[in-house]
Amino acid sequence: MLPEILDAQAGWMIGHRSAECKRLVWDIMPKLRQVFRTEGRVFFQASSGTGLLEAAVRNCVDKKALHCINGAFSQRWYEISQANGKACDSIEVPWGEAIKPEMVSEKLASGEYDTVAFTHNETSTGVTSPIKALAEAVRQGANGDEIVIMVDSVSGMAGARLETDDWDVDVVVSASQKAFALPAGLAFCSVSERAMKRAAGVPNRGYYFDFLELDRYFVKYQTPSTPAISLLFALDQQLDVILAEGYDQRMARHLAMRDRTISWAKSQGFSLFAEAGYESPTLTCVSNDPGIDVAGLNQYLKELGMTLSNGYGSQLKEKTFRIAHMGQLQMADLEALFAAIEGYMAGA
C-alpha cells in the first residue's frame, strides 16, 4: 500500500449529502468502471467483500444457483447462498484445480439453474479459473442467455485480467484490501442490465445491499446510506495510481511477478499447489515439499518487515504457504522476500 494513499484517508469529513461528496462519487465512478472493464454500473458499499457476495445471491438467485467450488472461498459463497435460504447446488473439483467449461456445461444441461457462481481467483489455493471460457460455456448452454453469471473476483480484480463486458459476466464482486491495494472496508460490484432485470423480480432482496435501491442513488452520484468517506478519499487516489500505470501494464506486471515466483519456488525445491496453466497472477500457493517450518519462517520474515501467508485452513497450513504478488508490490519486493526465505532456509 502506498503511504500517500493511507494518508489520503485523513482528509476532513464531508457531509454525505453535500456537493463535495457528490463530486467525489462523480470522480470515482468512471475510474472504477475502467478498472472493472465495463461501461455499466459499478456499486460500492461499506463492507468487506463478503457483503456484496451475499448481495449478489440475495439479488440474483430466483430459481436456483449453481456454485462452482474449488477452494475455501468458493465453498463459503455456496454456504452464503444456503444461509440465505436460496435453492442451490454445487459442483466441486479438488482444491488446487480450476473449474473447467465442460463440467459446467454438463451440469447446466438440466436447465434448472438461473444463476451460476464462479470464483475468479481462489485465494486459498492460488488458482485462477478461466472465466472467459466458463462464461462462454454458460451462454451456449440451456437458457444461456437468461443465466446470471456471478463472479467473486475479490482477490483478482485490478491484478488478474477480467473483461466484464467483453466476457459478458453479470455481477463481479471485489473488495478494497486485495489487488486494489487499499485499506479494508470497501466492497465493489459491477451489475449488468440482465442482473438488474433479474433483481427487479426477486423478492426479499434485503435493504442495505438492494441493487435497485443502490442504483436509484448511484445514478445521482449518491449512496442510499452514509458511505465510508475516508476510504472513498483513498479509493479516488488509488484509482488514479492504477489507471496511470495502465490496465495492460498492470496485468503484465502481475504476470511477470507470478512467473518469477514460480521459477524461484521451483529453483528452491518446491512445487506448486495450483494446477499447471491456471496459476494465479496475484498470489502463488507453494507446496511445502521440503517441510520447512512455515510459522517459524513468518516469524523470521516479520523481523525484516516482510510477511507471507501460511496455507489456508487446517487442510493446507504448513503443507503450503502463499506468496502475494498483488497491489503495488514490485519485482524488487519479491526479490528481497526470496533472498530472506533463502537466508532462513540456509539457517541464517
Ligand X SMILES: *Cc1c(COP(=O)(O)O)cnc(C)c1O
Q: Does 155 bind ligand X (CB under 6 A)?
A: yes
Q: Which is nearer to ligand X, 62 or 97 (CB)?
A: 97
Which of positions 274-303 make contact with ligand X (CB under 6 A)? none
Pairing of strands 65-69, 283-287: unpaired
Q: Own/partner pairs for 78-82, CB < 8 Å, 24+ apart?
A: 78/117, 80/50, 80/53, 80/54, 81/57, 81/117
Site size with ligand X, rule: CB under 6 A:
12
Which of positions 33-72 make contact with ligand X (CB under 6 A)? 48-50
Among the listed ranges 139-147, 149-157, 284-292, 336-344, the one in contact with ligand X (CB under 6 A) is 149-157
* Minimum CB distance to ligand X, residue 155 (Å): 4
- Classify residue 313 as left (phi > 0), alpha (psi -120 to 50) or beta: left
Q: Which of 154, 202, 274, 324 binds ligand X (CB under 6 A)?
A: 154
* Minimum CB distance to ligand X, residue 180 (Å): 11
Could you tell me the CA-to-CA distances from 18 to 24, 43, 44 in Å, in that order?
Answer: 10, 19, 18
Q: How far apart are CA 55 and CA 78, in angstroms?
A: 13
Q: Which of 24, 68, 169, 175 binds ligand X (CB under 6 A)?
A: 175
Q: Does 73 bind ligand X (CB under 6 A)?
A: yes
For residue 295 the three cell numbers come to 510459522
Q: Which is nearer to ligand X, 49 or 141 (CB)?
A: 49
The three-class DSSP label of residue 190 is strand
For residue 292 the three cell numbers come to 520447512
The length of the chain in residues reads 348
Q: How far apart are CA 304 and CA 298, in angstroms?
A: 10
Which of positions 114-143 make contact with ligand X (CB under 6 A)? 119, 121, 123
* Minimum CB distance to ligand X, residue 324 (Å): 11
- Interface ranges with ligand X (CB under 6 A): 48-50, 73, 119, 121, 123, 152, 154-155, 175, 178
